[in-house]
Amino acid sequence: MLTRKQRDLLEFIHKRMQKDGVPPSFDGMKDALDLRSKSGIHRLVTALEERGFLRRLAHRARAIEIVKMPEAMTAGFSPRVIEGDRRDLPRDAMPVHGTGARDVPVMGKIAAGVPIEAISQVASHVSVPEQMLGTGHSHYALEVKGDSMIDAGINDGDVVVIEEGDTADSGDIVVALVDDHEATLKRLRRKGGMIALEAANPAYETRVYRDDQVKVQGKLVGLIRTY
């Protein structure tokens, strides 16, 4: 049996897809259900998934399959995948074809979640548009593991392009090396002599370290996604 909020969310997603053909954003879901934060929406979506009404699809931003509807809401329903129209490219998206490209080493995987072991070996190479890289800096790429930066548009399985360097401004998304052995992708905030590494997913807490515990390994300059 579903709670009132779970039923309301499922009905809202279904009606929005029937009307617009595209999924509501988490902000849209939050406003429609009059919730104060997106963390409540994450919990409702998880509950609907656990009860078999929704299925989240891996490696696709906000892609959800409605598996079934409650009997009282099934009139005219047929399962449908909801996801953004791929023709609506992200702001500043660049075509890979028809532009100069440079091979950048992929150094392995980086955690967008709990920090994992530091990356140090080249696993492969990826072609990156010249406009994304600019000049005068070295770059490398990392495959994202985890979903803690999903609200910043960075999904599990994406490849992030990093401008190598040891400095960053407060608010930059960086590769941070924690205690010389754990690397993570987070938004950096400076607070006096402390550094906060912020996730972009309310399911993950902000971690705060002494300044000497965190070394910036580079900052995010681009992202590559394969459909």
Angle between helices 4-20 and 38-50 (to 10 degrees): 90
Q: Is 186 a catalytic residue?
A: yes
Q: Are 51 and 62 in contact (CB under 8 A)?
A: no
Query: Which of the residues 148, 191, 215, 219 is marked catalytic?
Result: 148
Instruction: Name the residue among 219, 118, 122, 105 with its Cα closest to residue 162.
Output: 219
What distance in Å separates the CA atoms of residue 104 and residue 128, rounded to the nearest whole number? 7
Collapsing DSSP to helix, strand or coil, 97 comes out as: coil
**Residue tagged 């070394």 (tokens):** 215
Q: Is 148 a catalytic residue?
A: yes
227 to each of 13, 58, 182, how far by Cα in Å? 23, 11, 29
What distance in Å separates the CA atoms of residue 56 and residue 83, rounded to the nearest whole number? 10
Query: Which of the residues 15, 37, 78, 186 is marked catalytic?
Result: 186
Catalytic residues: 148, 186
